[in-house]
Amino acid sequence: MRKWISLPHQEGTVSRQAHADLPAEAPYEREMGKSGFFGPTAHFHHRRPPTGWQDWEGPLRPRAYDLNQVPTASASPWQAPLLLHNPQMQLRLWQLDTPMPALARNADGDQLLFVHAGSGALFCDFGHLNLRDGDYLVLPRGTMWRLDPAEPMQLLMIEATNDGFGLPDKGLVGPQAIFDSAMLDVPRIDAAFLAQQGDTPWSIEIKRRDTVSTVRYDYNPLDAIGWHGDLAPVRINWRDIRPLMSHRYHLPPSAHSTFVAGRFVVCTFVPRPIESDPGALKVPFYHNNDDFDEVIFYHAGDFFSRDNIGPGMLTWHAAGFTHGPHPKAFAAGQKHARKETDEVAVMIDTRDPLNATAALDPVEIAEYAHSWRETPA
């Protein structure tokens, strides 16, 4: 067990409380820390924004992509384009317009689906469950499943490679905070599930070590008549999430954790009131992402710390540089111009560096790294 070096110290002009009552002559606070937002930290007070760069050279630059332009339609989830990945995580975007002609099974890890658009029915080993936009669906490793869209569906797919998804430790606020486990829905052995059983031939496409094998049956293998236990797919919609809030203190993104894997975390940003205390920071604080790559997929609304970022877009801030709100967003926060957020976004923080695939090259927004300039170059 490692014990971090701890030496609380103050040097120069500082605020007594992080993220609040910042010095007037140095309004730009920057956080440097270990283990994301969970380890020891230092807070610096700057006269000028830590993101006030004028140019970028090299591959580390912040990146943004318009995923609305990615061709993603396929009948199988394993044909959906892989966008970002490392040995512990894979991120895909999948467009499904018609019913899946074969069952899918992920033998590489748990699968998390987020329904960005559309609706439909899930049929799996455990039964039947309807899905709509904004739903998360956790599929345990080895689950056989298929989707039958009621309308075209677009899904963000997050794989916990050789791992599984659990819930975050909610600590002092208790297990019912953010969302109660009673809000997690599971598939049912209902009339719709029993009606799809029969002697129609079906295939299962099994992904293992990123290679697909096909197993054929002369009947539908989703023929269970019941099940029991404490392992099952679960569904939760972002509309059922009640975010942690403080009117006097801006909480870090980790407070919005939804699912946790061994080497990454999935957070959900949902609409909430903005801090009202006059001295409280009202936008995300500038921080070094030294231990985690940060990816955000924008589902709906206007992301309050970014300019010109809309639904269906994705940003990727690799570990190794300081980032934070855009200049207009920071100025609006100082004026308390907005009283609440309307954003819905999925954030993935990975402990290990991510790699981008060629599928992202045509849809990259090249000027994104320059969007922190207060005035054009």
Interval 195-221 mean pLDDT: 98
At residue 332, does pLDDT exceed 90? no
Distance, in Å, from the CA atom of 377 to the CA atom of 373, rounded to the nearest integer, reads 8
Q: Over 90: is that where the pLDDT of 133 sits?
A: yes
Among 254, 228, 129, CA closest to 184: 129
Span 339-360, pLDDT tens digits? 899 999 999 999 999 999 999 9
Higher-confidence position of 19 and 163 = 163
pLDDT higher than threshold 50 for residue 131: yes
User: Is 47 a residue whose pLDDT tops 60?
Assistant: yes
**Average pLDDT of every residue of the chain:** 93
Indicate the pLDDT class of residue 377, thresholds 50, 70 and 90: very low
Burial letters for 338-353: b for 16+ Cβ neighbours within 10 Å, e otherwise?
beebebbbbbbbbbee
Looking at residue 375, what is its pLDDT? Answer: 62
The tens digit of pLDDT for each residue in 76-129 reads 999 999 999 999 999 999 999 999 999 999 999 999 999 999 999 999 999 999
Single-letter amino acid, residue 56? W
- CB atoms closer than 10 angstroms to residue 82: 19
User: Distance (Å, rounded) from C-alpha 113 to C-alpha 291?
Assistant: 25
β-strands 63-66, 82-86 pairing: unpaired
Q: Is the pLDDT of residue 363 over 80?
A: yes
What is the rounded average pLDDT of the residues 282-291?
Answer: 88
307-311, Cβ contacts within 8 angstroms, sequence gap of 24 or more: 307/371, 308/371, 309/64, 311/116
Q: What is the model's pLDDT at position 305?
A: 66
Which residue, 90, 88, 84, is CA-closest to 65? 84
